[in-house]
């Protein structure tokens, strides 16, 4: 990749870690009327018709999942002893609720005590449960049973993309 082009374009675009109007540079908040395009990061237009392509969406998603799993591996005392299925439930919940939101729950305390039935039952008391009941009912059942059929997943290139994410992160770190 041409590093001169990367440096020139990134210096011209500037980094904004929030959605902004590219015509004004102003942050877009609820009910903001925009003059240009909804944009984020280094001038990445996320407004129709541009949006993200499948590879960009997969990359961002898997990068965030990688970060979540890394944070949870340090925050949940018995993370390394959990099955990949139970780790997946906590990762999914952290993706939806945020790391801090997940870590403040009785669910995590139940998991750390290896009381998976209690942990699963506590999910019903979460605000997120009320907002997305089917997701959290499924997560509770998976957490309690330690069973998940991975054939129902939707990403097609997880192994190759996951390696690209790991390579990218290790190159940045």
Strand intervals (E) in the chain = 16-21, 38-41, 44-45
Rounded to whole angstroms, the Cα distance separating 105 from 8 reads 45
pTM exceeds 0.85, yes or no: no
Q: What is the CATH number of domain 55-152?
A: 1.10.530.40
Q: CB–CB of 21/46 below 8 Å?
A: no
In the chain, what are the domain boundaries?
3-51, 55-152
Tell me the pLDDT tens digit for each residue of 72-91.
999 999 999 999 999 999 99
For residue 163, the model assigns a pLDDT of 55
For residue 152, the model assigns a pLDDT of 66
């Amino acid at each position: 990749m041409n590093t001169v082009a990367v440096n020139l374009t990134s210096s011209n675009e500037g980094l904004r870690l929030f959605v902004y109007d590219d015509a004004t540079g102003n942050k877009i908040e609820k009910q903001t009327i925009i003059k240009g395009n909804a944009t984020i990061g280094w001038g990445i237009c996320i407004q129709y018709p541009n949006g993200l392509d499948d590879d960009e969406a997969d990359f961002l998603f898997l990068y965030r999942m990688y970060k979540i799993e890394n944070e949870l591996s340090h925050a949940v005392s018995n993370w390394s002893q959990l099955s990949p299925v139970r780790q997946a439930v906590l990762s999914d919940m952290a993706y939806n609720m945020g790391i801090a939101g997940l870590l403040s729950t009785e669910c995590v305390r139940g998991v750390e005590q290896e009381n998976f039935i209690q942990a699963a039952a506590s999910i019903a008391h979460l605000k997120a449960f009320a907002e997305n009941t089917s997701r959290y009912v499924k997560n509770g059942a998976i957490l309690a049973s330690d069973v998940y059929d991975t054939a129902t997943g939707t990403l097609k290139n997880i192994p190759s993309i996951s390696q690209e994410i790991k390579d990218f992160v290790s190159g940045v770190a």
